[in-house]
Structure 1
């Protein structure tokens, strides 16, 4: 009985840390450090209501012009027994302009799939002033209620930050 519990605890603990090799002159050392320091992060746990969840986020591209982050997650209700939900997202930022694009989807077994997309394009971005167009789209597919109507928005805007 204790062996499966130990294995589960070991797997959970190992997802929160990465191994880093620290060479020294006399001998070699290995230490565990938080994964967020190595540009990816896995979190998870079980809450008091019996819902277990795990998610993993990682940087795919990060340079002077582009930043792309991906994430995946899963959760399941165990008390009472509920469906499994899985999903993922991709978030992109064009660093020079500050323009962004994000897409995501999640599926709950027996209840359908939700998809979404958001974006913001900065036409002008200098001296604290930004002129942009933005929009989002979301829709639910399948499940007991069937496929829903799309929900979307689009607009243009101007923002300005005053320096003190």
Structure 2
């Protein structure tokens, strides 16, 4: 039960380093922000429906071969009062081959945690033609419905751009 929540914390901690105080739901909640000079973006606000949100994305690694980005977000509905939703993700791209891997989790307070992972490995990627294997996995943990069955997919394919 705690593994998905630990994963969200790991995603956040791996891409962000500083701490800012943010009072949410009469408790001390913290949002982590990057201290490095890498590319980063923070957005947030409150919409007319009373939904407050904050999202932070930061580039962890970006060189000729690898690109790794981390994202963390939190959303809270205030009118009417709704649950706090927190999420985190890591997205990796191997630049020479175009292969990708993404992992993430989202926790809705009192309703459980959804985890997901998706990847694509390009065996061949040249001249507009790509031969690849891909797959994804998702599962819900906890909440009123309990832990659900895993949902997964895997396959191989070929694509070409003219």
User: Scaled by the length of structure 2, what TM-score is found?
Assistant: 0.76
Determine if the alignment matches structure 1 residue 159 to structure 2 residue 141. no
Q: Which structure would you say has the larger RCO, counting Cα contacts within 8 Å and 6 or more residues apart?
A: 2
RMSD of Structure 2 on Structure 1 (CA)? 1.1
Q: For residue 85 of structure 2, what is the aligned residue in structure 1?
A: 85
Q: Tell me which stretches of 4 or more aligned residues in structure 1 moved more than 2 Å.
A: none
Counterparts of 1:64-103 in structure 2, within 5 Å, are: 64-103=64-103
Q: For residue 109 of structure 2, what is the aligned residue in structure 1?
A: 109
Deviation at 1:38, TM superposition (A): 5.9
For the pair shown, the structure with the greater C-alpha radius of gyration is: 1
Q: For residue 132 of structure 1, what is the aligned residue in structure 2?
A: 132
Q: Distance in 2 between matches of 1:138 and 1:45?
A: 29
Q: For residue 49 of structure 1, what is the aligned residue in structure 2?
A: 49
Tell me if the contact between 2:55 and 2:72 (Cα under 8 Å) persists in the aligned partners: yes
Counterparts of 1:2-81 in structure 2, within 5 Å, are: 39-81=39-81
Deviation at 1:49, TM superposition (A): 1.1
Structure 2: which 5+ runs fail to align? 1-36
Deviation at 1:48, TM superposition (A): 1.4
User: Scaled by the length of structure 1, what TM-score is found?
Assistant: 0.75
Structure 1: which 5+ runs fail to align? 1-36
